[in-house]
């Protein structure tokens, strides 16, 4: 079951100034990170357009009849599925200009991040889900910075 969709950006790549548009979906069985198409974001003003199109396609994707993240990632282009048991640690930290960044370290050593504005990511839903699924592997460092 899809619990939350958080619109944000991944790390900067290529000519992107603020990061590549990315959507983080929180399912019962794990997280799915979905990247926007590079072609959409390269056009002038395309970053914002890519983010809006990504969010709309994610909403439509919820209608694909998938109940879990693994199924969703299997039928969605440019997506990464992270089962909760493969996440070694996740840290939520304060970013620049009011943004927040969720840094994820996987068991196989990959480091992934998802930066978002609180307007786009309802913390009242996201924080209890991450705390419940990850337990002590999840840390909220925003209050200490």
The answer for residues whose C-beta is within 8 angstroms of residue 63's C-beta and 6 or more apart is none
Tokens of 79: 């997506």
Domain chopping of the chain, boundaries: 2-144
Pick the CATH number of 2-144 from 1.10.3720.10, 2.40.50.100, 3.40.50.300, 2.30.29.30: 2.30.29.30
> What is the rounded distance in angstroms from the CA atom of residue 33 to the CA atom of residue 73?
8
- How many CB atoms are located within 10 Å of the residue 51 CB? 23
Interval 12-43: pLDDT, tens: 554 445 567 888 888 999 999 988 764 444 44
* Positions in the chain whose pLDDT score sits under 50: 14-16, 38-47, 49-51, 59-63, 120-121
| The pLDDT value given to residue 76 | 84
């Amino acid at each position: 079951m899809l619990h939350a969709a958080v619109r944000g950006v991944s790390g900067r790549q290529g000519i992107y100034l603020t990061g590549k548009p990315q959507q983080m979906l929180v399912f019962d069985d794990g997280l799915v990170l979905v990247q926007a198409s590079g072609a959409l974001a390269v056009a002038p003003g395309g970053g914002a357009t890519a983010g809006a199109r990504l969010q709309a396609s994610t909403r439509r994707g919820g209608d694909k009849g998938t109940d879990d993240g693994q199924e969703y990632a299997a039928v969605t282009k440019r997506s990464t599925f992270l089962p909760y048991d493969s996440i070694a640690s996740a840290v939520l930290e304060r970013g620049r200009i009011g943004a927040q960044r969720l840094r994820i370290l996987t068991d196989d050593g990959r480091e992934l991040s998802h930066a978002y504005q609180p307007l786009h990511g309802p913390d009242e839903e996201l924080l209890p889900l991450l705390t419940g699924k990850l337990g002590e592997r999840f840390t909220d460092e925003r209050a200490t910075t």
